[in-house]
Structure 1
Amino acid sequence: MKNKQLLLIDDDIEFTALLVQYLKPQGYEIDVCHDGESGLLRATSNKKYDLILLDVMLPRIDGFEVLKKLRSSHHTPVLMLTAKGDDFDKIFGLELGADDYLPKPFNHRELSARIKAIVRRMELLPSTSMHQTLTLDDVIISPSNQMVSCNDSVLELTGTEFSILHLLMLNHGNLVSKQDLSEKVLGRKLAAFDRSVDMHVSNIRRKLSHKNADEKIKTHRGAGYIYMVKK
């Protein structure tokens, strides 16, 4: 099996060397950049990466600016490495299109689990039996090529946003709990005060609203979400 391609953008030379040493034996090929400018150039090059590990605090261009520019043209999954306890970094990164975040300092096993969850989800998108084109009112979702359209306009979603929308649409009319969304999409149990799922759903709503769509996703406070269809 071909090794997965990772791009690590972090200015801590010793830290990145340790991560490369830890991750390589697990079947990853890792390119490393130590500033945001070179990281963005590498991320938008012709090389296809399975995942980008992106630190927030970077010289030249910070991680948020890298992510913002990247999302204007690429949907490569991004795992943000944020300062521990800095909720602003976490929320802002998710708003800009990060797929997940991990606060520093972190356990290397936790990092490995997050990477595997994201990579596995991207691999499964075109292959499961449920992944047939689904049309609900004016929204069409096609997992085989990870495309979504609303009112005949293409919707630009990250891999995580796509997976959440797909799960909600598959279960339209029924409550999908935040716990289920976290476990099935993010690959982890929902932790207290974790707003990742909420932020991804907020991004989906915003993008749907730009296509003049009706309110599609109803919130059941503290419980989860329901994808609504017209009667």
Structure 2
Amino acid sequence: MKSSGRAEMRQIVLDTETTGLSPNKGDRIVEVGCVELIGRKHTGRHFHYYVNPERDIPAEVVAVHGIDNEKVKDSPKFRDIAEEFWQFVAGAELVIHNAAFDMGFLQMEFDRLATEGRSFGRLAEHCSVLDTLMLAREKHPGAKASLDALCKRYGIDNSHRTLHGALLDSEILADVYLMMTGGQTALILDEEPAESEQEEVSFDASAILASGERLTVVRPTEMELDAHQQMLAMIEKASGAAPLWHGRSK
């Protein structure tokens, strides 16, 4: 296989769990989970830690993610994992659902370290960021855009998601993102197509051949073939069965 000479995009799908909703009011991170994609494919690499927030976790928040004080009392503090996290995400595109929330908490943690003499800088300058919440709202105006709603829309099984969890949610979000950006949204219909969209288009190749003109054959690139195989695998995962056309002899 010939190299295209271009490095494939590295993306980190990321999620955090926290003690509350406001980093400016003392809330802290209690879990961070990331999964790596390169060229839109899972690499199997991930970054995951439960984090001691150095403060109490309110009961109403524990009810959401199940992470209580006892669970994280012996976990590393964010300062202990900061360098490893910084290196793991370096130069990648962060894929986050409601990115402002997670980025706000992560930047707050790095700003705290700056007061201790450990300056990391701005995370948003260290990585680029793609917000899947904004992307979902652009693609599906007026529709629900929560992670659960998107799983339902794209046929992704999240029945094992009884509580929020940073690593689990990152894995689910990775599948949602790949489906949402894989050109298969025409398979997910909210309503019947307009009458004009139901009209069949007639194409008579014999007329072109009779005119003496040559038909141009456009073959898919290796990257497009890889993306096609990946989409077939995702359809099979979502439906529980291989697509009918998959594996047919040519």
Q: TM-score, normalised by structure 1?
A: 0.29
Greater relative contact order (Cα < 8 A, sep 6+): 2
> 1 or 2, which has the higher strand percentage?
1
TM-score (norm 2): 0.27
